[in-house]
Amino acid sequence: MKKLSVYSEETNTGIIRHIYLRRGAHSGQIMVCIVVRKDIARQLSALCRLLSEKYSTINSIIMNINPDNTNVILGDRCITLWGSDTISDTMCGNNVEISPLSFYQVNTVQAERLYAKALEYAAPGGSETIADLYCGAGTIGLSMAKQAAKIVGVEIIPQAVENAKENALRNGITNAEFHCGDAGEVFGKLRRQGCKPDIIVVDPPRKGCSSETVDIISEAAPKKIVMISCNPATAARDAKLLSERGYSVDKVCGVDLFPRTGHVECVVLMSRIYKI
């Protein structure tokens, strides 16, 4: 195999930026994703042959192209070098397909406990509409679908939205719909079209909810907000902003998805006190 140079952020030179593995905790299926600065599919053919012949649990080898001078890990373009475009796993009893760009918790067993706590806090009775913002591949919303009348998911990454739609079909879930775009912008549009959720679930990135999303959530005036966060600091900030808009923080629970680190996920339940 030809030797390939390692990318340097300081000089913006080199080819191989990152290599990451994604493994289905229940299925055992493995995806190998090689992040490169330019298309080097031909140079990677020998490596793909070696990996696929030696490791039977590898189901997918993907090349992700990120040509930008940035510390962002993944680019927008993925090319399947060997095997399937996705891998399968089980999350909260649902069979899910996961693409390279879709968010999926690395600690699946603890993620299932995290989502179970979110469902406990949401406590839908079967007649509610639940908005699932920053929904990723739909795993949280789909875990609540059997207890709700309707799930409305919003996610900005197109591949993740397609995964969410496919995951609903794979599990025979017919009361879920998913929309692609910025959470605040798309949910605002859905609101103007008559979407009135009883419960809103948010699982934003580490930077938390955008100010537009916080405004739209409070304007929607759901009875409950369930916030899942990998950054307690931004969760506290967003909870404060929502408390100023008529909500009380009723419960908070930490779930450790990152053993031996200082990081922790948290779930926050907020209830509407009054509508502003």
pLDDT at 82 over 60: yes
- Give the pLDDT confidence of 244-266 residue by residue, as tens digits: 999 999 999 999 999 999 899 99
Quickly state the pLDDT bin for 1 (edges 50, 70, 90).
Answer: low
- Kindly state the tokens that stand for 146: 């059997």
Quickly state the pLDDT bin for 102 (edges 50, 70, 90).
Answer: confident
Domains in the chain, ordered, with CATH?
A: 16-85 (no CATH), 100-272 (3.40.50.150)
What does pLDDT average to over the chain?
94
Question: 């679930």: which residue's tokens?
Answer: 201
Q: Which one-letter amino acid corresponds to residue 188?
A: G
Bridge-partner residues for 77, per DSSP?
65
Q: Which one-letter amino acid corresponds to residue 234?
A: T
Residue 230 known to be catalytic: yes
- Give the pLDDT confidence of 145-169 residue by residue, as tens digits: 999 999 999 999 998 999 999 999 9
* Cα angle 171-176-182, degrees, rounded to a multiple of 5: 120
d(CA 99, CA 102): 5
- Give the pLDDT confidence of 24-43 residue by residue, as tens digits: 999 999 999 999 999 999 99
Give residue 71's pLDDT. 86
- Kindly state the tokens that stand for 203: 């699982």
Smallest Cα–Cα separation from 99: which of 122, 76, 121? 76
- Prediction pTM value: 0.85
Which of 78, 135, 230, 266 does the annotation list as catalytic?
230
